[in-house]
Amino acid sequence: MKKSIKDLTDLKGKRVLVREDLNVPLDDNKNITDDTRIRAALPTINYLKEKGAKVIVVAHFGRPKGEFKEDMRLTPVAKRLSELLGAPVMKLDDCIGDAVKEKLAELKDGEVALLENIRFYKEEEKNDPEFAKKLAELADIYVNDAFGAAHRAHASTAGVAEFVKPAVSGLLMEKELSALGGLLQNPARPFVAIVGGSKVSTKIGVLDNLIDKVDTLIVGGGMTYTFMKAQGFSVGNSICEDDKLDIARDLMKKAETKGVKLLISEDVLVCDAFSETANTQVVLASAIPDGWEGVDAGAKAIANAKEVILKAKTILWNGPVGVFEIDKFSNGTKAIAEAVAEATKLGAKSVLGGGDTVAAIEKFHIAPEAYSHISTGGGASLEFIEGKVLPGVAALDDK
């Protein structure tokens, strides 16, 4: 267990450096098109404000590759953060150095400052100790609330924690670690995981670790066809990783040995062209015709998945089971989204992860509240589920 800001007793007047993930999308006019990540940071920032801390927020934006770039400044983020807090945010034009220290000296208790894009310095991603030390000079306390960047060993996510103590988690980080940790350490059973997405290669570690934890593993999306081909079936024009067939066979064998039910789509929707106007048909996943491509789960596969999901007490869902972006190919993913929401209503604990999963529930107009927890960290949540150590978490103080 890691310490959180709730474990700190005296915050009044303390300079608190808070790492947040504020990497939001902008349109061509520099308007924020989705402020979800800024909103996710509010509980921690408001908590520190209310306790009378001097809040110094550090964040990255885009991929400036260690150079100052005008179009990647955090000015639009500062404006939106100020609106959501209902209080002015001091926006700085740099993130280290004497000029920054002088400006921060003006910060009063309960006020918020936002440092400039930390990735303007190449030392950030290199986790340069001298750079981390300069960041540390700005603060009395370090708080990491950026779960979405916790799998990066960067100066502002890990290095700085060596030079500032206490180093603790923010409320969002704490919530993520509690939800994902509880899922893997002591899940109510049956525990069902649904893992979709296009490639086995990006999910090998996840699948391997989950087979040790779950009762049923539902594999969907483009990965289906690698598993099918690994069993000797033709997959037509479907996406398939020929160099991962042995891994797929090993995973199937491991599931059988462990007594884990591995549910791979029995039937699939195939198309003759990758478009909304394509001809489609439902076929057995083991009998995809030449020239056709699998793009969604079929009716039997959907029914089988729903039956398992509705009996589950713990559910992890990461990745769509079809090309949900095209309406014609979205039935499987929609059915999974609705089934997980229904199971949650029946008392199951559900945890969703991955940007595509979140995009899917938004497309189908399902409220985030329909699920127990939606992770804000795509890569970080995957690595956590894989059982990997996240540098941004490991650097924090233990309870």
The whole-angstrom separation of Cα 219 and Cα 137 is 48
- SS3 (DSSP) at 203: coil
For residue 347, with 0-12 CB atoms within 10 Å meaning exposed, 13-18 middle and 19 or more buried, which class applies?
exposed
- SS3 (DSSP) at 356: helix
125 backbone φψ class: left, alpha, beta (φ>0; ψ -120 to 50)? alpha
Active site residues: 37, 199, 355, 379
Full-model pTM = 0.88
> Alpha helices, DSSP H only, in 16-61?
36-50
Residue 185 is predicted with a pLDDT of 87
Q: Which residue, among 341, 344, 321, 307, has the nearest Cα to 188 in the 3D structure?
A: 344
Please give the share of the chain, as a percent, with pLDDT higher than 70.
100
Please give the share of the chain, as a percent, with pLDDT higher than 90.
86
The full length of the chain comes to: 399
Token reading at 323:
């090309």
CB-based contact 227:253 (threshold 8 Å): no
CB-based contact 197:318 (threshold 8 Å): yes
Site of tokens 């099918």 = 228
CB-based contact 2:168 (threshold 8 Å): yes
Does 77 or 380 have the greater pLDDT score?
A: 77
The whole-angstrom separation of Cα 116 and Cα 57 is 9
Averaged pLDDT, 17-28: 93
Helix (H) or strand (E) holding 282: strand 280-284
Give the CA-trace dihedral at 145, 151, 153, 156, to 10 degrees.
Answer: -20
Average confidence score pLDDT of the chain: 94
Residue 197 is predicted with a pLDDT of 85
CB-based contact 181:399 (threshold 8 Å): no
Token reading at 117:
């894009």
Residue 156 is predicted with a pLDDT of 98
Q: What is the CA radius of gyration of the chain?
A: 23
Averaged pLDDT, 267-282: 94
Residue 99 is predicted with a pLDDT of 96
pLDDT band at 34 (very low <50, low <70, confident <90, very high): confident
Residue 184 is predicted with a pLDDT of 85
Q: pLDDT digits over 316-365, tens only?
A: 999 999 999 999 999 999 999 999 999 999 999 999 988 789 889 999 99
Q: pLDDT digits over 90-115, tens only?
A: 999 999 999 999 999 999 999 999 99
Q: Which domains does the chain have, with CATH numbers?
A: 5-173 (3.40.50.1260), 187-386 (3.40.50.1260)
Residue 268 is predicted with a pLDDT of 96
Q: Which residue, among 277, 274, 283, 338, has the nearest Cα to 306 in the 3D structure?
A: 338
Q: How many beta carbons lie within 10 A of that of residue 232, not counting itself?
A: 8
CB-based contact 101:45 (threshold 8 Å): no
